[in-house]
Amino acid sequence: MAAPANSTTFSGDVWAELRLADGRDVPHIRSLIHQMAEFELLTDLFATTEELLTSTLFPSPARPPFTSFTALILDLSPSPLVPDSSSTIASRRLDLSASPLADPEAAAFASPRGGGRVTAGFVICFPNYSTFLSKPGLYVEDIFVRAPWRRRGLGRMMLSAVAGRAAELGMGRVEWCVLDWNKNAIDFYEGMGADVLPQWRICRLTGAALDKYKGNQEEAADGKAAE
């Protein structure tokens, strides 16, 4: 099958790097989140802006990675990459000799790091805490790979890197959510050794349901003062 018009074809050796994101990656992060919302059929919940991503993910002064909201970017390069000890989390080589890959969005997702790199995915995670273990953990809010780059072992590389970092930091567990209809993802996670816990449900306050609680602390304080 011919590659789509205006696509970039990757063949032979390609190098993957999972690295810490910075402010330059914000436009791609927003676009990737939107693609994820489309895949999950949840675009009605999408309200992300570049301004909010910048202020929440990349505050000044910067916080150490994995101690607060941490964004990781997956870049692919047609040329060998030299790992950067300050930003590289994981890297690997892909052999596409037998199955060249056409990426119709390569130009739109050109990495801000240059060198012919393209951005293919992202992870966002942050610390949580287990009272049962009395240990911190990592919660993976999002893990996503663009469609052309799926089924190449990259999702495994990304999740393995996050789990490895959590283990190195002495954390008790890594957790995330999966949609109940996404059998491919469930099978993938179980194949990596994760327990999928059907007895738990997500509870969420957001939007108007959350806003109605504004001022409750002041009302409680006023009530105590009147006693």
Write out the two tokens for 75: 């870049």
pLDDT at 226 over 60: no
Counting every residue, how long is the chain?
A: 227
Percentage of residues of the chain with pLDDT beyond 70: 93
Write out the two tokens for 137: 């953990």
Q: Report the SS3 class of residue 184.
A: helix
* Residue 135 φ then ψ, to 5°: -140, 150
pLDDT at 215 over 60: yes
pLDDT at 6 over 80: no
Q: Report the SS3 class of residue 49.
A: coil
Amino acid at 92: R
Of 43-57, 168-182, 209-223, the poorest mean pLDDT is in: 209-223
Q: Which CATH superfamily is domain 8-212 in?
A: Gcn5-related N-acetyltransferase (GNAT) (3.40.630.30)
Q: Point out the catalytic residue in the list 129, 139, 189, 213.
A: 189
Is residue 189 annotated as part of the catalytic site, yes or no? yes
Pairing of strands 8-10, 101-103: antiparallel
Q: How far is CA 52 from CA 186, 190, 208, in A?
A: 30, 33, 19
Residues 134-191 pLDDT 10s: 999 999 999 999 999 999 999 999 999 999 999 999 999 999 999 999 999 999 999 9
DSSP state of 136: E
Write out the two tokens for 141: 């809010």
